[in-house]
Structure formats: C-alpha cells, structure tokens
Chain A
Amino acid sequence: AQTVTQSQPEMSVQEAETVTLSCTYDTSESDYYLFWYKQPPSRQMILVIRQEAYKQQNATENRFSVNFQKAAKSFSLKISDSQLGDAAMYFCAYRSASSGAGSYQLTFGKGTKLSVIP
C-alpha cells in the first residue's frame, strides 16, 4: 500500500515571501501521479498542481511549483510571492497510474496548515 507523509503540521510565511512545503511518499509502483490540494477553511478541496511520475520536468502553475525527486520519493511544493489567500491546509496526494481496483482513489498525507503573515 502507498503512504504519503507530510512532516510539517504547520508552516508560516510572510506575505510576498516564498515558502516550501514538504512531502514524501512510499510506493513500489513506477508510474503514478502526485498532487497538491488546497483546503481553505470553507473545506472545499481544490487542486493546486499535479505531477506525472514519468515526466522529469517539474510542474509549474503560476506562483506554484514543485520539486519532484523520484528516486528520493520526494514531492515538495514551493509557493512564491505568498498572498493572504494562500492561507489554508495543503494536502499532498498520490494516485496510481495503473488500472484496476485500488488504483483510482487518492491517498492523502495529513496536511500542512499554512499561515500567511501580513
């Protein structure tokens, strides 16, 4: 079974600064997807960024980028120019790329609560 570990329960960042959230995972599969989800206090989870394991290039979405280290099974999220609206719980998630039972659901870490200081 796959596991996802987020070792930082809470992080804080000054507005306009950069912060990096850590995530490690354990899997025996070679093909999979990794995601960062944001859950604001209203609880609706939204996708921030995704990475396909077969791609060497790190994904980027505007101010959000990842550092994907496949051999180390590490998948960190960097938020640049932090804004007050970035304050939320951030969850790292894993999904298998194979077909069949057990492959389609997301496996989440415990989350990191990010605070943005004005």
Chain B
Amino acid sequence: GAGVSQSPRYKVAKRGQDVALRCDPISGHVSLFWYQQALGQGPEFLTYFQNEAQLDKSGLPSDRFFAERPEGSVSTLKIQRTQQEDSAVYLCASSYGLLSYEQYFGPGTRLTVT
C-alpha cells in the first residue's frame, strides 16, 4: 500500500505570503502528526490529530500556524504571513492510533521563505 504522501515537496514563498502544506496519511491511520525540522536539527513536534479532532497543538510556534483535518483523513498545515524563520522541512507522520508504537513519516515539504 501507499505510504504517507506530502505535497508540494518544495515550496518557495516570499515573506508575508500564506502557504498550505498537504499531508495524505496511510489509509486507515487515525492519528496524524506534524513536525518541523530546521536545517541540521531533529524534528520538533507541532500538533497532532485523532481522526478530525486536534488534540494537542502546543508545539505550534505562533498563531500564524494553523492545522486542520476536517474529514479525519487528509490534513493541511497552513502558515500565514510567512517569515524567514519558518524556513524548514515540515514532516507529516501517521499511525494506527495514538498508542501505536510506530509513526510512519512522509518525505516532507521543504519550505523556503525569501
């Protein structure tokens, strides 16, 4: 079966623009996580969903970041008024459930803000 997919793979935005990053989890996976990976760093947690419910958004760095998963499947991470410090790889991961051991990661979206 297909793994986690993310689109676009690369995104260049001018400072101040809004961007939307998409994640398609593995079919049947109810839990979905977003991580931000700055250059040369490990991924850092942003938010997670159980089905359509966003249960934890404590990692979102500012109110410019917004995530949704309206039908409990595809998720979108939106960043408003992008800043240079938002440049990073955004990783999406899914799992069967919150208690599942393994999170399956997508290839990420590399966002560059100029």
Binding site for B on A (CB under 8 A): 4, 6, 33, 37, 42-47, 50, 91, 93, 99, 101-111
Contacts and interface: CB of A to CB of B under 8 A. Distances in A.
A47 B3 CA distance: 14
Interface string B77-94: 000000000000101010
B102 A50 contact: yes
Interface centre among A4, A47, A103, A105 (most CB of B within 10 A): A105
Given A45-B43, A93-B42, A110-B41, 11 more contacts: A43-B89, A43-B108, A45-B91, A99-B99, A101-B58, A102-B56, A103-B98, A104-B31, A105-B48, A106-B43, A110-B42
Contacts of A104: 31, 33, 48, 56, 98-99
Interface residues of B, number: 27
Given A43-B107, A101-B55, A105-B33, A33 B101 contact: yes
- 3 pairs of A and B residues whose beta carbons are closest in the complex: A108-B42, A45-B105, A105-B45
Contacts of A111: 41-42
13 contacts: A37-B105, A44-B107, A44-B108, A45-B43, A45-B91, A45-B93, A45-B105, A46-B105, A105-B45, A105-B56, A106-B33, A106-B35, A106-B43
B49 to A, nearest CB: 11
A42 B91 CA distance: 13
B44 interface: yes
A107 B105 contact: no
Contact of A101 (B31, B56, B101, B102): B56
Contact of B43 (A6, A44, A102, A108): A108
A105 B59 contact: yes
A111 B91 CA distance: 16
B58 to A, nearest CB: 7
A102 B93 CA distance: 16
Interface string B94-114: 000011011101111000000
Contacts of B59: 105
